[in-house]
Amino acid sequence: MKEWFTLLAEYVPDLPSDVYGEGEYMQAFEKEIADLLGHEAAVFMPSGTMAQQIALRIWAESRQNFSVAMHPLSHLDTAEHFSYQFIHNLKRIQFGIPEFGDRLLTTKDFQNLKETPGSILLELPQRFLGGYLPPWEDLQVTVQWARDHDIPIHLDGARLWESQPYYSEKSLADIASLFDSVYVSFYKGLGGITGSMLLGPQSFIEEAKVWLRRMGGNLRAQFSFVASAKWGVENNLPKMQQYHERAKALAKIINTFPNFSTSPQVPHTNMFLIFLPGDPAKVKSILLEASRECGVFFFGGLRASQHPQYSFFEVNILNQGLDLDLEKFKELMQVLADKLV
Amino acid sequence: MKEWFTLLAEYVPDLPSDVYGEGEYMQAFEKEIADLLGHEAAVFMPSGTMAQQIALRIWAESRQNFSVAMHPLSHLDTAEHFSYQFIHNLKRIQFGIPEFGDRLLTTKDFQNLKETPGSILLELPQRFLGGYLPPWEDLQVTVQWARDHDIPIHLDGARLWESQPYYSEKSLADIASLFDSVYVSFYKGLGGITGSMLLGPQSFIEEAKVWLRRMGGNLRAQFSFVASAKWGVENNLPKMQQYHERAKALAKIINTFPNFSTSPQVPHTNMFLIFLPGDPAKVKSILLEASRECGVFFFGGLRASQHPQYSFFEVNILNQGLDLDLEKFKELMQVLADKLV
């Protein structure tokens, strides 16, 4: 807490607080991000949960179609207590029977739907799979299919910043402007306190502000979130390429051990899943032991994998990951390999 | 912005940020307010809009009755784009045909309802009327009526802190514990950045946390709001009596001028409405002129009143009001009286 307040006291200009979403500092930041992502308008919001529900609700109302085509592992279907159903009466369309959430959706999946969804939500990268991204061409085709069928297509860009290096010749605006609406987060890769932004056409954003008020997100003041978000864009956005390179370097080391794997094998972003042999309790205790021995803390929320002999956890490479000594990391992996036999 | 960050950098203890609602600093503050208000449990939330919708939704689900008895001037019916209808399918029961919102609700109003509401929301004080409070005995009777009919009764306590002096022998806990659930705000009288708290029985609060997640209010970190709220409780809560006294003193001065009135005539809290002769545009320009002449800034959002010859605005007495020189204020009123002929 103290560090943040001290940093931000220095960082912010001599401007007054925003008041219920209005304020020079906030609006300038909204414009900055709208320009960066190639969208007409933007509104800062306290959370992505709010931003995405609002986007889907607006699209549903505009088409009078409350069905949504989104991945079964989307944030809305895994991390929001099904709010989209409980408070918006939205319904997810099932992809196939039975439905598996073990890979990215492709254009074919949308083509095979037997009904027309009110909207599509795509998450780039697909976080719970390990941060997979579709090839640029596939993305184009999916978006074109949505356009051809007049289906609004929304981007869950919680980790959009982290995705750009994968599409190396494409800018953030090239990616984001494919979509009718976009949500981005300021606290994951960017390291802000919290906060999100919803982007889209001006009229869409005006309507989003009504829904933001309804959801209880039109706060008296958000300058602490806004300032930390702006600080994150300035300080951490330029490092996304480095985070990605470092994730690839670590995954490469991990994959040299016969019984260790990452997914993706070559990370698409700064994140990946690491699979280690053993049940979560065993792997956890050995990981802790090895981390202490080597003085390198490499850890996450261990979970049982589908394969009965493996556990896994999610790895996100940020500033601490850049500071990691690769030789030390190799040593840790070796100690781990020796212990996890 | 800078002032807040500088103040809070000094103010906060050396503790880490809360993470998605969990954190020593946050939980200690929740407990502090729960104890102060005589409730079992509490959860900090970004906004009151969220807190109150959540309370009403939980009570509605628990009784499988989505009707609510609340004043037509409640915050939910005036300031939230009817979110209670749009996202929770709640419905307000009409008090009388035609219905007038020009006075406080009494027990009789509830008794005269021809159906049993799923919940009752009482606002103390009734802000849009000018901050009126019911006598303590009436309040008791209304609450008892709700109890007798097994109707959960929720307190909109956005200005509960400001109400306590009116019930001078009653503590905040005496007032708040009359209700099944209570919302309080930290940025109005208390002067925090933003934020609210919802209080009630433990199981109610556990359920509220699920709904908070659904509403997008389970933020990654709220320490900036929490710290400012705690600071407000420490620094401004002890001044509520002074604010009230000062509001009464100012109203008394105002009411000595034959064509000026306040409502209530003797303020119940630190707020009141002031009625001045003339249309809003005229009164506004004369008020500005007189304020500049006297060097006393006394102003608000002027609106036309029901009476065609009067305009009014809302006055809230906080620290600036305490600093106001009463002689200077009399002078301002005199200048105003001379100009507003």
The residue among A47, A230, A159, A76 whose CA lies nearest residue B219 is A47
- The values of phi and psi at residue A120, to 5°, are -120, 140
> pLDDT of B8-35, one tens digit each?
999 999 999 999 999 999 999 999 999 9
Hey, CA dihedral for A279, A284, A285, A286, is it positive or negative? positive
Long-range contacts of B165-170 (CB under 8 A, 24+ apart): B165/B240, B165/B241, B165/B244, B165/B269, B166/B125, B166/B133, B166/B244, B166/B268, B166/B269, B167/B133, B167/B136, B170/B136
- Please list every residue in chain B whose beta carbon sits closer than 8 Å to the beta carbon of residue A225: 224
Min CA distance, A70 vs chain B (Å)? 18
The pLDDT score that the predictor gives to residue B100 is 87
Q: What is the 3-class SS of B95-122, one letter each residue?
A: CCCCCCCCCCCCHHHHHCCCCCCCEEEE
Residue of B nearest to A51 (CA): B216
Interface contact flag, B219 A15, Cβ < 8 Å: no
> pLDDT of A205-260, one tens digit each?
999 999 999 999 999 999 999 999 999 999 999 999 999 999 999 999 999 999 99
The pLDDT score that the predictor gives to residue A288 is 95
CA dist., res. A78 & res. B180, Å (int): 32
- The values of phi and psi at residue A156, to 5°, are -80, 95
The pLDDT score that the predictor gives to residue B53 is 98
Other Cβ atoms within 10 Å of A171 Cβ, number: 13
The answer on pLDDT for B299 being more than 90 is no
Min CA distance, A239 vs chain B (Å)? 22
Establish if B237 touches chain A: CB-CB under 8 angstroms: no
The answer on pLDDT for B121 being more than 90 is yes
Establish if A22 touches chain B: CB-CB under 8 angstroms: no
Structure tokens at A273: 């899943």
- Asked whether B87 and B53 are in contact (CB, 8 A), the reply is yes
Establish if A9 touches chain B: CB-CB under 8 angstroms: yes
Residue of A nearest to B50 (CA): A216
The pLDDT score that the predictor gives to residue A181 is 98
N-to-C CA span, chain B: 42
Report the amino acid identity of residue B331: E
> pLDDT of A182-206, one tens digit each?
999 999 999 999 999 999 999 999 9
Report A:75-104 residues touching B (Cβ under 8 A). Answer: 80-83, 86-88
The residue among B97, B51, B48 whose CA lies nearest residue B72 is B97
Interface contact flag, A46 B83, Cβ < 8 Å: no
Other Cβ atoms within 10 Å of A293 Cβ, number: 13
The answer on pLDDT for A100 being more than 90 is no
Top-confidence residue, A19 or B100: A19
CA dist., res. B301 & res. B17, Å (int): 38
Considering only CB atoms, B224 lies closest to which of A53, A86, A193, namely A193
- Asked whether B159 and B185 are in contact (CB, 8 A), the reply is yes
Considering only CB atoms, A227 lies closest to which of B1, B13, B16, namely B1
List b or e across B247-286, with b for residues whose CB sees 16 or more CB atoms inside 10 angstroms: bbbbbebbeebeebbbbbeebbbbbbbbbbbbebeebbeb
